[in-house]
Amino acid sequence: MVDFAGTQLPVQFSSIVQEHQAVRRGMGWFDVSHMGRFRLSGPEARLWLDALLTCRLSDLPAGKVRYSLVCKQDGAILDDVLVYNLGGTPGEWALVVNASNRAKIYQWFQANQENWQAKLEDQTEQTAMVAVQGPNAVSLAKQLFDRDVADLPNYGCFQAHFGKAEVLVSRTGYTGEDGWEVCVPGECGLSLVERLDAAGVTACGLGARDTLRLEASMPLYGHELSEEIDPYQAGLGRSVDLEKEFIGREALLRRRGRSDLPVRVGLVASGKRAARENDLLLDETGAEVGRVTSGTMSPTLGYPVAMAYVQPGKSVPGYSLSAMVRGRPELYTTTKMPFYRRSAV
């Protein structure tokens, strides 16, 4: 067990590799109740969200989820989030934020309320959240809920029932596999995971969650994302709509075309030594050109992969760099991301 944003979470139940392969080949479940869960409601809830999120929400239909960013005035990233349009009248929305940023984002919304006719509720302590991921995850869901997750498109969501409890199910995840996530009343969390265990779903910890998301090249706040990095550096410009107004827009208009800022790249190793966070990256002259943000031995691919921020001129695919792994150079090559992409169904 480790402390993660004030919550005790398991690194592993069996082994990281076994849990990782269970998700890639079958299915695994993760307790993600540490993530922050907010509800916004009221006639101007969408306008409030639109003013703080980088993505456009006016074209997001009810029953859909969208990935977005929350930025400071200077364009740097406060958090990356999922926003859910739950529909209803006058309008209800859900927001899932990173555990370490829960208090910060709640305070950011309160500080930028601008008298919108809407209210914000932090429901994290009253609810639990579980992710079930893997190629067999969707077929299992029909045993648990009164609605079929197979009917949901990717990044779709609906209200369903687990027994008598109303729950929020979305076809989302953080592993690169198909699957779903569900928010349930807190008192239902234990019975849900007992059902999953009884169905033979592998319990997975933080270790497998990290190796899975890294293979899928998904950024992690505090590693690839921070208050010093903007969306364009992180390769997340697709989540920014500069045609609408939001906090940080003016700064991003200026930063979008800059060619002097470090950018996120993927790296694959020639050998077997995995680079880790903060390992230096050197070019052929021995000059420092960047640092690793995340790295691991990929259980799926069988060789080390990493993400890093490097000088723009060193970011093109096929560029050779030396990672200083425990004080010794290891040859890495920049590559396109993601490292792993699941087969199309």
Q: What is the pLDDT along the chain (345 residues), one digit of tens a residue?
A: 788 777 788 899 999 999 999 999 999 999 999 999 999 999 999 999 999 999 999 999 999 999 999 999 999 999 999 999 999 888 999 999 999 999 999 999 999 998 999 999 999 999 999 999 999 999 999 999 999 999 999 999 999 999 999 999 999 999 999 999 999 999 999 999 999 999 999 999 999 999 999 999 999 999 999 999 999 999 999 999 999 999 999 999 999 989 999 999 999 999 999 999 999 999 999 999 999 999 999 999 999 999 999 999 999 999 999 999 999 999 999 999 999 999 865
Q: What is the pLDDT of residue 344?
A: 67
What sign does the dihedral 167-168-171-173 (CA atoms) show? Answer: negative
Say how many C-beta atoms besides its own lie within 10 A of residue 122's C-beta.
17
Q: What is the pLDDT of residue 89?
A: 84
Distance CA 57, CA 21 (A): 36
Helix, strand and coil content of the chain, in percent to the nearest 5, comes to: 25, 35, 45
Closest alpha carbon to 325 in 292, 269, 279: 279
Q: What is the pLDDT of residue 94?
A: 98
The pairing of beta strand 202-203 with beta strand 28-31: parallel
Cα 224 to Cα 173, 214, 236, distances in angstroms: 18, 11, 11
Q: What is the pLDDT of residue 343?
A: 83
Distance CA 320, CA 250 (A): 36
Domains and CATH numbers, the chain: 2-215 (3.30.1360.120), 262-335 (2.40.30.110)
Q: What is the pLDDT of residue 179?
A: 98
Q: Tokens 């579980």 belong to which residue?
A: 130
Give me the DSSP letters along 45-62.
HHHHHHHHBSS--TT--T
Distance CA 181, CA 175 (A): 12
CA distance from start to end of the chain: 36
Cα 261 to Cα 8, 14, 307, 312, 328, distances in angstroms: 36, 41, 16, 7, 27
Q: What is the pLDDT of residue 148?
A: 97
Residue 243 in tokens:
């045609």
Q: What is the pLDDT of residue 263?
A: 98
Distance CA 179, CA 196 (A): 14
The pTM of this model reads 0.96
Closest alpha carbon to 49 in 99, 94, 88: 94
